[in-house]
Every structure is written in structure tokens, then in C-alpha cells.
Amino acid sequence: MAPAANPQLPEVNFSDQGDIRYLHLGTEWIQGSMRLDEPFDIDLEYVQRMMAWLLFTDPQAVAKRHAMQLGLGAAALTKFCHRKLRMKTTAIELNPQVIAACRLWFKLPKDDTRLSVILGDAAEVVAHGHWRGQVDALQVDLYDHEAAAPVLDSEAFYRDCRSLLTEDGCMTVNLFGRSSSYERSLERIQAAFGDDAVWAFRPTREGNTVVLALREPVHPKRGELALRADVIESRWGLPARKWLRVFKPVL
């Protein structure tokens, strides 16, 4: 594979363990995965939780919505939104090798009328006016090869993320690292979205904590969420009933 144009970007490689293929950025840290016999499903638990915005969306309207991923990883979210949910899907990725790897090794389809994979800087994309107010589900998973803390994690960045969302839009963010790093990130998200608009999962066994922030605060009754979870699980195979046991408003 040709080297990345930017020499500071890490090399991209993969490893196979049984039926699972893992994406790496030159280290042992896992940046994404795919089950070889189910390439359009979501394998990792935390990545499944990045789909929790579905709890706040009418299932009948999902296919009319626009999903955007900041950070492609192994393209699990991008493939699921495009192939399974039939959504308009846009992915932003800084490293051209990651895009090439996803197309070669992780079954990422070519761009079409609903799919657009863009080589670009997420910070520049969210600060630009092009997609402002047009994204219904924004999924943010921005880690470098060391996976120590999010690459983009300022209050200003999260405010820009909020500006991309439609009125009933939602952002999900993967936060991974030390608890002090998580608390700082959470405070910045709350400052950008408002304390009453933020929900969070408990950490996974691996230490990933998915945080959800709504453009405008919504607090459905547990019964409503349970009904929505039933639909998500039966229609798309995501463990949404389990989510409700480990997911709640931050306040």
C-alpha cells in the first residue's frame, strides 16, 4: 500500500483472530473490527452503543435521516448506517491509508448517491458552514495511534459539533482513557450542549464510555425508551434493551 502523504500519520495494518478482523494504526491498539462472515454488522460493544441516538429517533424516519462519522475507524458505523439503515451517510477521515484499508480489507462500499467518504480534517469540517444544521446523527470517534485521549476535545469543537445538528439531532462520542480525561471531556460536552442535554453509558469492560448529547434536551419516559429499544433490537439486531440498563442522563 502506498505511504500516506502526511509522514506524521501512522501506518495502517490489520490482524485476523478467528472470524474477527482488527484495524490497527501501527500499534497493538484496536481501532476497529469486523466479523468476516457478517461484515455489515457492528462487532464491538462500544461501537454498538454509538448507535444509541436511535433511541431518540422515530424508526420509520431513520432512512430519511443523515448520519455523519468523524473518524472512520474500520468503517463499522459508516457501513451500518449506509447498508442496514439505508441512510444518507458521510464519513470524514484524516488518514488516506485508513480509507484505502477500509475499502480493501473491511468491505467499505464505493461512494454512491447516499455514501460519501471524505478525506479531510474533522476540526475544519465541523467549523465550516457547509453541513450546519443538516446532520441528524453525528458520531465522533477521534483517536490517534496511541489511543490516550480524543484528538479533538475542546468546548469550541463540541460547540461546532452541535451546530451541525438538526433541531432534533444527536451526537454520540467515544471517550476512552483515564477517568480524569473522561471528566474533562464530559464537562466540555456539557458546556457546549447544556447539562440537561447529555446522557452517558457506563464504561465497557475495555474502558470505552459513550456519551450522547442532544441538540435540544429531551427526556423520554422509560416506557417510551423501552418500546423504542424493542424496535431497534428486532429490526436492526442491536442490543438496545441492554443499553437501557447502563444508560442514563448525566444529571
Catalytic sites, residue numbers? 141
Q: How far apart are CA 234 and CA 219, in angstroms?
A: 23
Q: Give which of 105, 108, 111 is closest to 77, Cα–Cα.
A: 108
Contact 152, 144 (CB under 8 A): no
Q: DSSP letter string over the chain?
A: -PPPSSTTSPP-EEEEETTEEEEESSSSS--EEEETTBTTS--SHHHHHTTGGGGGS-GGGGGGSEEEEES-TTSHHHHIIIIIS--EEEEEES-HHHHHHHHHHS-PPPP-SSEEEEES-HHHHHHSSTTTT-EEEEEE----TT-SS-SS--HHHHHHHHHHEEEEEEEEEEEES-HHHHHHHHHHHHHHH-GGGEEEEPPPTTSEEEEEEESS-----HHHHHHHHHHHHHHH---HHHHTTSEEE--
Q: In the structure grid, which three cell numbers stand for residue 10, read together?
A: 501512522
